[in-house]
Amino acid sequence: MSTIDYDPFDAAVRKDPLPFYRSLREESPCHYLEPYDAWALSRFQDIWDASNDSDTYSAAKGTTPAQCLTKDQPVTPMLNVMDPPAHTKLRSVIRGCFLPRHLRSLEPAIRSWTEGYVDDVLERGHGDVVGEIGARLSVRVACAAIGLPEEDGPMLVEWVQRFFHHDPGQEGMTPEGMNALTELTAYCREQAERCRAADDDGPQGLPSLCRFEWDGRSFTLDEIGSHATMLVIGGSETFPKTLANGILRLAQHPDQRAALVRDPAGIPAAYDEILRYDMPTQFLCRTLRRDTELHGQKMREGQAVMFLYASANRDPREFERPDEFNVARRAPRMLSFGAGTHACLGTHVARAEGRVTLETILDRMPDYEVDLAGAERFETEFVQGFSKLPIRFG
Ligand code: HEM
């Protein structure tokens, strides 16, 4: 029996989960958490294999800590909580709007929006990387990919921020977060109604959902609203935090920043290293469809299993000197976008956003300074990262 005292909701874990992950990987790679009747997987290869095994690991009972551990968030119809074969079919339909060839037409817009946001910050000499650059860009791109009116962007940013907001000490889903989710879902349902009435045959997410058929029927408006909500949250929430992490890490490693300023061709690999080093989503969960065994532990059908992605990305079995930030690293694989059945559909979108924002910031304000005293962070069991990261320039 392991003596590691790991509970994702503990204040010490929320403050700094990495030492706990290290102990878990070394001493208890398949670790039982009694209060939640759940298991935590912390090694890279184990999570990689489990992510590719949807016969054993199901997403249908939810994937967030509030769905699988505290069980206070209901499971609503969304792509990420479906299992094959329905998942496979819907995923192949939604995938179309996130493919590189669709994205190429979006790239000039991504660049000009980014330049506009960075120019706003330049003019003032200071600004917030999360709210004024990352969130504005990712929501605008998500609206374009999903097919939502661009002018609704600021309202969507607010809903997504309320959904994730936690006061210190608050566990699981907050009432405010639940309200934000309800409002966002109602909005997406209205948009679905508009899309259906207009008989929109566009290539974006929303029209694809409206056209989707399974088991001889189309989705109801409620179902479309729920799926579109997932796309809004998935498409807009994580990117701003990864951008802020990158801006901070490059400021802390001036030699690496200077190398990228001199040779921006290294920026795509640098963004991957940023994603690996500071993964915001600490873990997602699955539920066992059948009994199975791992590292001598017998896991039973119905129990939840946590995939500790942020731990896997620091596993020395997979990465040489994993605790070293090195933009010249060329890791052949990582788990920042998940893997297997539910691997992120927005990978190309996120990487394009990362490349363009870093290129623009390093080009226009290469000597920016980070104001850590003015920064604000999420330190929740689920998401870690900046909710605000001020920078100064000039
Ligand atoms: C840096 C930004 C992003 C990160 C780190 C990220 C990470 C992830 C991860 C880890 C998963 C796996 C979920 C699981 O294991 O249950 C996932 C799934 C997903 N992501 Fe992303 N994501 C990002 C951006 C995006 C964007 C921009 C979009 C869309 C515009 C998007 C859409 C999705 C979708 C639809 C899924 C569910 C796929 C499925 O269930 O088949 N993501 N993402």
Tell me what the mean pLDDT of segment 286-315 comes to: 98
Residue 75: the pLDDT is 92
> Contact at 8 Å (CB) between 223 and 77?
yes
Residue 293: the pLDDT is 98
Residue 99: the pLDDT is 80
Confidence of residue 172 (pLDDT cuts 50, 70, 90): low
DSSP collapsed to 3 states, the chain: CCCCCCCCCCHHHHHCCHHHHHHHHHHCCEEEEHHHCEEEECCHHHHHHHHCCCCCEECCCCCCHHHHCCCCCCCCCCHHHCCCCHHHHHHHHHHHHHCHHHHHHHHHHHHHHHHHHHHHHHHHCEEEHHHHHHHHHHHHHHHHHHCCCHHHHHHHHHHHHHHHCCCCCCCCCCHHHHHHHHHHHHHHHHHHHHHHHCCCCCCCHHHHHHHCEECCEECCHHHHHHHHHHHHHHHHCHHHHHHHHHHHHHHHCHHHHHHHHHCHHHHHHHHHHHHHHCCCECCEEEEECCCEEECCEEECCCCEEEECHHHHCCCCCCCCCCCCCCCCCCCCCCCCCCCHHHCCCCHHHHHHHHHHHHHHHHHHCCCCEECHHHCEEEECCCEEEEEECEEECC
Residue 323: the pLDDT is 98
Give nearest CA residue, ligand 1 atom 31: 346
Q: Over the chain, what is the mean pLDDT?
A: 93
Q: Which one of 160, 209, 232, 337 would you pick to mutate in the ligand 1 pocket, going by the greatest count of ligand atoms within 8 A of its CB? A: 337
* pLDDT surpassing 90 at residue 177: no
Residue 170: the pLDDT is 63
Closest ligand 1 atom to Cα of 142: 30
pTM, two decimal places:
0.94
* pLDDT surpassing 80 at residue 266: yes
Of 66-70, 181-185, 360-364, the range with the highest mean pLDDT is 360-364
With a Cβ cut-off of 6 Å, ligand 1 is lined by: 63, 79-80, 91, 98, 142, 145, 231, 234-235, 238-239, 242, 281, 284, 336-338, 342, 344-346, 349-350
Tell me what the mean pLDDT of segment 257-279 comes to: 98
Give nearest CA residue, ligand 1 atom 6: 337
* pLDDT surpassing 70 at residue 377: yes
* pLDDT surpassing 90 at residue 23: yes
Closest ligand 1 atom to Cα of 238: 2
Distance CA 227, CA 275 (A): 25
* pLDDT surpassing 90 at residue 261: yes
Tell me what the mean pLDDT of segment 60-67 comes to: 95
Tell me what the mean pLDDT of segment 372-392 comes to: 92
Range in 95-109, 176-190, 370-384 the model is least confident about = 95-109
Residue 121: the pLDDT is 95
Residue 168: the pLDDT is 61
> Contact at 8 Å (CB) between 144 and 137?
no
* pLDDT surpassing 90 at residue 288: yes
Residue 132: the pLDDT is 93
Residue 167: the pLDDT is 67
Share of the chain above pLDDT 70, in %: 97
Domains of the chain: 11-392 (1.10.630.10)
Tell me what the mean pLDDT of segment 325-348 comes to: 96
Tell me what the mean pLDDT of segment 256-261 comes to: 98
Closest ligand 1 atom to Cα of 236: 27
Closest ligand 1 atom to Cα of 343: 12
pLDDT in tens, 67-77: 999 998 889 88
* pLDDT surpassing 90 at residue 394: no
* pLDDT surpassing 90 at residue 215: no
Tell me what the mean pLDDT of segment 115-140 comes to: 94
